[in-house]
Structure 1
Amino acid sequence: MPSAIVTGATGIAGSAIVDQLLKDPSYERIYSFSRRDPGYDDPKIKHVALDLQGSVQEMVKSFKGISAEVNEKLLSNFLEALESTGAAKRIKRFILTCGFKQYGVHIGPAEQRLLEGDPLLEQSRRKVSWPPIFYYDQQRILAHAAKRGGWEWVATLPENVLGYAPGNFMNEAMALGLYCVVSKILPGSELPFPGSKANYFTFNCWTSANLHAKFCLWAAKAPGAGNQIFNVMNGDTESFQNLWPRLASRFGCRIPDPMFPHGGTPGTQGFKAYDSSTIRLQNIPLLKSAAAALGLSADPILENPPTLFLQIDPEKWAKRADVSTAWAILRNKYGLDQRAWEKATWSFLTTTLGRDWSCVGSMSKARKLGWTGYADTWEELEETFQVLEREGVLPPVDQLKADF
């Protein structure tokens, strides 16, 4: 029977993978690697305290007796440590979780749909300077190690992961939930969309942490999946024009009309008295490399850097006196976790809500190999909110609506 090693076992993706492994009787041992003990109470799990920023020698000590978001140095050190202990000889497939930054979606619009076989950003530079993507080096390191050791590798590309891990607050759903519950108790209970008007109408994909975990278990054994890169999304395509009214309804808020009183475009004012932000990125659009193929060589829009616009800047919003007071009321009334507020990733919302381009990937490659998994994005978002309520990050929504 196989064993599994999960690094970053306290993260949202890692903890979901451990949970799925526990449900799979074909795995006799699960090694959870992380700096802190995730606290699993199951005889199949052996926790190993491991700091991926440590030296190879330190990792080797941690691996003694084992048979089964990091940069390229951390990954190479980890692989070298596995080889030094001899554990690498028993590897069948190594699953590396990356993400949609593979396509450069964090620095501008890319060709849609996003396909795993698209040229790497570094291959399409053509005298154009774009920020480096460290996933590429990770994948090269992994492929070289696999070739040396005679095993296979898989890289997964999830997008906007929805899930929860105790003590981990890097979570888009958590930041959205906090924004909604605070908006509920502010005067008027309005829920204005913080991002740009263009973003409100773009289409995007999300990835359930649980579905991604199931995909990793499938990819570890699926014939033909070795030495491949796969998009991993829920399987539906969503837009905030659909999700935002549902968020308002769930949390008992009111959709303002007009939603974008000042236009919701770069350089315009914020929503009512809120501070807006216009952020011009430091690179020309990624589409520049494909301009000729798309018939856009003379389009002036491809000569200007992409721009993020927030009609309500999330980071500035969270520091407002009225917002801080509202959070304190909620925290004290419902006994909420203060760390959630302090560590909320408002800056992540700046990118996901401020951009004016879609991020839609294709699942065809995995489907052709037999992957049939699917999740409804709204249902996954709802389930994540329910978990956050049970964990004391968000107030119970029914009680919140009854009290305010």
Structure 2
Amino acid sequence: MESKKKKKNSSLTTQHIEFVMPSAIVTGATGITGSAIVHHLLKDKTYDKIYSFSRSNPGYEDPRIQHVSLDLQSSAQDMAKALQGVSAEYIFFCAYLATDDQAELSQINESLLSNFLEALELNGAARKIKRFVLTCGFKQYGVHIGPGKQPLLEDDPLLENDVGGASWPPIFYYLQQRVLADAAKKGGWEWVATLPQDVLGYARGNFMNEATALGLYCAVSKALPGSELPFLGSRANYFAFNCWTSANLHAKFCLWAAVAPGAGNQIFNVINGDTESFQNLWPRLAARFGCRIPDPMFPNGGIPGTKGFKDYESSTIRLPNKPPLKALASSLGLSKDPSAEESPTLFLQIDPEKWAKREDVNKAWAQLRDKYNLDQDAWNKATWDFLIMSLGRDWSCVGSMSKARKLGWTGYADTWDELEDTFETLESKGILPPLDQLKRDF
């Protein structure tokens, strides 16, 4: 009798238990953050099905991936039809549309997300969701508006509704996060929002990247007479502290946040983990590209209102609002301090947009393009205006990773290594000239 009982229990322990592998959806799969997430999902053998959503096919060759041509600007009803039979436990939303008008920017990007979520409801896919990861950024803190309290923390006050007694331009991340949180509560699933800063990475045909513009500036400077590499921005920016985010590190974080216990319904800074400044990076850029660091770097002072470097045109841009620091001014004892009251100013001792239109600069670029068969689109679509903000501001942008670290995140990337790795990729894709040849030929 006892032996039969043991045999019965033994058969229960060897009973086959089916393990269902999860699937994932990535929107904006052709962008820098989205393509990196797809790449790392393919490396993760946990996922058996990956849907890449974008208007154009990113061309991944893997049996686990399926491309879905999707226009996120279409109606929820039209998207629901395009998504028939498509569902996943984990969704990574990286889609973004840029426009100069801040009100329109908010409206468009909030609609992208809300219509997509409605489409998932209409076709029944929302019932399968476990966690939805939304990519946002440091504009959450108003770093594009002016200086804020350092370091930047996820529970810093939102810049809205006259917080601190000031009016703030709309920040669409807030709208998206509320739309997402409401949908998650209704559907019984969880959400995560990530806040990367100045993402370093590569995506085919996507040139909205600080590294691309910086690399082009360095390569052309090498080809110009004297091979000088003057800093484009202000003296204050040269000494300020900043942080960057590797697209690969961000992708790894997103996969971690999708399943990490306790990470649901949270907002996280996602930065490399080091703190950098251009006083350290700029000489390394010059050495890498074989350029000469000018001395003095700021012959006219490098402050707003001064002349440009040598014969280059400078720009002084007064921003129209109070700095984000004003939102916390009273609690910091700074309610009467000029740092919380004065409108921020951007200063470029070499305006990159004007620099890119100069005759001597375009001749140097054409020489490089023809000599090394480079992609003209990279020059035409380079985001020089991105450098105006990232090199022209006179304030630091440093975030804390403590919140994620306390939940177990251990990821780290060295910013210089990531920048150099991006340059090497851009060289291999014919966007920047091959480094050894550039240094030998010029």
Using structure 1 for the length normalisation, give the TM-score: 0.99
The one-letter code of the counterpart of 1:7 is T
Matched, 1:131 2:169: yes
2:260 maps to what in 1? 222
Give the CA deviation at 1:389.
0.2
Tell me, which stretches of 5 or more residues in structure 2 are unaligned? 1-20, 89-95, 98-108
Give the CA deviation at 1:321.
0.3
1:394 maps to what in 2? 432
Give the CA deviation at 1:293.
2.1
- Choose from 333, 343, 368 the match for 1:295: 333
Residues 316-346 of structure 1: CA deviation (Å, up to 9, x unaligned): 0000000000000000000000000000000
The one-letter code of the counterpart of 2:374 is L
2:212 maps to what in 1? 174
Alignment of 1:109-148 (within 5 A): 109-122=147-160, 125-148=163-186
**3-state DSSP class of the match of 2:251?**
helix
Give the CA deviation at 1:123.
5.3
Q: Evaluate the alpha carbon distance shift between residue 237 and residue 283 of structure 1 in structure 2; reply closer, same or farther with a 3 A threshold.
A: same
Determine if contact 2:138/2:196 at 8 Å carries over to the other structure. yes
**3-state DSSP class of the match of 1:6?**
strand
2:66 maps to what in 1? 46
2:26 maps to what in 1? 6
Matched, 1:234 2:272: yes
- Choose from 18, 41, 56 the match for 1:21: 41
Determine if contact 2:368/2:433 at 8 Å carries over to the other structure. yes
Give the CA deviation at 1:300.
3.2
Measure the CA separation in 2 of the matches of 1:89 and 1:218. Answer: 22
Give the CA deviation at 1:349.
0.2
**3-state DSSP class of the match of 1:174?**
helix
The one-letter code of the counterpart of 1:368 is K
Residues 293-322 of structure 1: CA deviation (Å, up to 9, x unaligned): 222222234332100000000000000000
Greater mean deviation of Cα atoms: 377-386 or 60-69: 60-69
Larger radius of gyration: 2
**3-state DSSP class of the match of 2:226?**
helix
1:281 maps to what in 2? 319
2:139 maps to what in 1? 101
Residues 225-251 of structure 1: CA deviation (Å, up to 9, x unaligned): 000000000000000000000000000
Determine if contact 2:164/2:328 at 8 Å carries over to the other structure. no
The one-letter code of the counterpart of 2:209 is N
Measure the CA separation in 2 of the matches of 1:382 and 1:288. Answer: 37
1:257 maps to what in 2? 295
Measure the CA separation in 2 of the matches of 1:124 and 1:216. Answer: 33
Measure the CA separation in 1 of the matches of 2:192 and 2:161. Answer: 21
The one-letter code of the counterpart of 1:363 is M
Q: Evaluate the alpha carbon distance shift between residue 289 and residue 134 of structure 1 in structure 2; reply closer, same or farther with a 3 A threshold.
A: same
**3-state DSSP class of the match of 1:122?**
coil
Measure the CA separation in 2 of the matches of 1:300 and 1:99. Answer: 27
1:62 maps to what in 2? 82
**3-state DSSP class of the match of 1:32?**
strand
The one-letter code of the counterpart of 2:260 is A
The one-letter code of the counterpart of 1:199 is N
Post-superposition, which runs of at least 4 consecutive aligned residues in structure 1 deviate over 6 A?
none
Measure the CA separation in 2 of the matches of 1:301 and 1:94. Answer: 38
2:375 maps to what in 1? 337
Measure the CA separation in 1 of the matches of 2:162 and 2:242. Answer: 24
Alignment of 1:144-159 (within 5 A): 144-159=182-197
The one-letter code of the counterpart of 1:148 is K
The one-letter code of the counterpart of 1:19 is H
Give the CA deviation at 1:65.
1.4
- Choose from 162, 179, 192 the match for 2:200: 162
Percentage of matched positions with identical amino acids: 77
Give the CA deviation at 1:60.
1.0
The one-letter code of the counterpart of 2:35 is S
Aligned length: 404
Give the CA deviation at 1:383.
0.3
Determine if contact 2:77/2:122 at 8 Å carries over to the other structure. no
Measure the CA separation in 2 of the matches of 1:98 and 1:386. Answer: 27
**3-state DSSP class of the match of 2:206?**
coil
Tell me, which stretches of 5 or more residues in structure 1 are unaligned? none
Greater mean deviation of Cα atoms: 123-132 or 263-272: 123-132
2:422 maps to what in 1? 384
The one-letter code of the counterpart of 1:390 is S
Give the CA deviation at 1:287.
1.4
Residues 195-235 of structure 1: CA deviation (Å, up to 9, x unaligned): 00000000000000000000000000000000000000000
Measure the CA separation in 1 of the matches of 2:53 and 2:206. Answer: 15
Measure the CA separation in 2 of the matches of 1:279 and 1:194. Answer: 14
Measure the CA separation in 1 of the matches of 2:162 and 2:149. Answer: 12
- Choose from 352, 377, 381 the match for 1:314: 352
**3-state DSSP class of the match of 1:217?**
helix
The one-letter code of the counterpart of 2:216 is L
The one-letter code of the counterpart of 1:331 is R
1:37 maps to what in 2? 57
